Amino acid sequence: MNETARNTYIPLSCRKKHPKLWFDDGNIILATKLSLFRVHRSLLSAYSPVFADMLSLPQPEVAENTIDGLPDVHVVVFSDDDNEFTHFLRFCYNPRYHQGGMPTTFDIISGLLRMSTKYQVDELRDEVISHLALAYPSTFTKYAEAVKPNAQLTLFPPFDGQHFAVARLARETEATILLPVALWRSSCQLRQEIMARERSVSTREIDRQRLTPADERTCLSVQLACHAIYMWLSHELLSILGRTCPGSRADNAKCTDIALRAMAKHFSSSFDSQSVDVLQRWDSCDVWTDLVCDRCRWNAAFKVLRFKRSIWDGLPGRFGLRPWGGLVPESTPATT
């Protein structure tokens, strides 16, 4: 939907009745900018304290509230996104519409998280966040499993800009537990992808698939900083070879020379051409570990694991967030 269509006013009498959310015995009509929903006040009130409070108040008269000859049915107009509001109502009538861990679409998952946050449906909100945390977890062990190439994550079909969209969604809904990994994976994308979407043609949908300006700057900064750390730590790995190789001095020099040449070749061919998730791969080490002796290979693997855990422990701080233990918000954001 383009921005012009979104902002065009459609009279209530011309808005479409939703085919699956128009119940003849419904006692309230909810309206978005495009659709009408005849639903049950008690059901919505049971799910959401915000709806319970809102629907307990006397509703203002709506001049065009006679729809299909139903002047006695209250009409409440909402400014929510039509698709997101539809997903939320469909869940209210069928909780199996979304089940944590089961395949879904990002359109559904993002809509449910925004609506459950706004209307304080805490159980649904927690379930959606847990669903997203399968791919954006808060522990290093789960992250290592999630990023394996053959990992079968039942989230939603992947799409271009996915990590940016998840980071934006987590910001909007204050799902801070998702932010470190969503932002980290965003910072691991190519720089031209981080900066790709031009704001001159921005729409609401495009904005939701890109980072906020502040997060974009931070991700670029983190990428540059981590690239420098990656280069330095890659060099540090060479220094342990001469000390740990169990062979003669000549053997020590051989392992070091093999690793140095392989690493130099690696950086000369790939330097600055791609961004690497160093929590997932350590390419500058992987290119030589199979060429050196077992002792050097084992010690290098141990050192790399320590490097990764150190980076992981400081990950939230790199994005200006609280430490891992303090990322769960104390309460659901208030409705706006």
pLDDT in tens, 245-274: 766 666 668 888 888 898 888 887 765 555
Kindly give the interhelix angle for 213-244 and 294-313, rounded to the nearest 10 degrees: 150
Task: Report the amino acid identity of residue 293.
Answer: C
How far is it, in rounded angstroms, from Cα 124 to Cα 53? Answer: 19
Token readout for 76 is: 């409440």
How far is it, in rounded angstroms, from Cα 329 to Cα 162? Answer: 23
Amino acid 231: pLDDT: 84
Amino acid 2: pLDDT: 46
**105 with 157: CB under 8 angstroms?**
yes
Residues near 4 by Cβ (< 8 Å), separated by ≥ 6?
A: none
* Residue at token pair 């080490």: 285
First-residue to last-residue Cα distance in the chain: 24
Most confident of 1-15, 113-127, 246-260, 322-336: 113-127
Amino acid 335: pLDDT: 40
How far is it, in rounded angstroms, from Cα 305 to Cα 327? Answer: 24
Average pLDDT of span 202-208: 63
Model confidence at 51: pLDDT above 80: yes
Most confident of 4-13, 131-140, 256-265: 131-140
Q: In what order do the strands lie in the sheet with 74-77?
A: 16-22, 35-39, 28-31, 74-77
Model confidence at 208: pLDDT above 80: no
pLDDT in tens, 58-94: 655 554 555 666 555 677 888 899 999 999 999 999 9
**More reliable by pLDDT, 224 or 12:** 224
How far is it, in rounded angstroms, from Cα 85 to Cα 96? Answer: 17
In this prediction the pTM is: 0.85
Amino acid 210: pLDDT: 87
Average pLDDT of span 155-171: 91
Kindly give the interhelix angle for 82-93 and 106-118, rounded to the nearest 10 degrees: 80
How far is it, in rounded angstroms, from Cα 255 to Cα 249? Answer: 10
**41 with 27: CB under 8 angstroms?**
yes
pLDDT in tens, 107-128: 999 999 999 999 999 999 999 9
Q: How confident is residue 334, by pLDDT bands cut at 50, 70 and 90?
A: very low
pLDDT in tens, 282-308: 888 888 888 888 888 888 888 889 989
Average pLDDT of span 184-208: 73
CA angle 322-323-327, nearest 5°? 60
3-state secondary structure of 53: helix
Least confident segment among 54-68, 94-108, 304-318:
54-68
Average pLDDT of span 175-192: 94
Amino acid 101: pLDDT: 78
Amino acid 185: pLDDT: 95
Least confident segment among 133-147, 202-216, 254-268, 278-292:
202-216
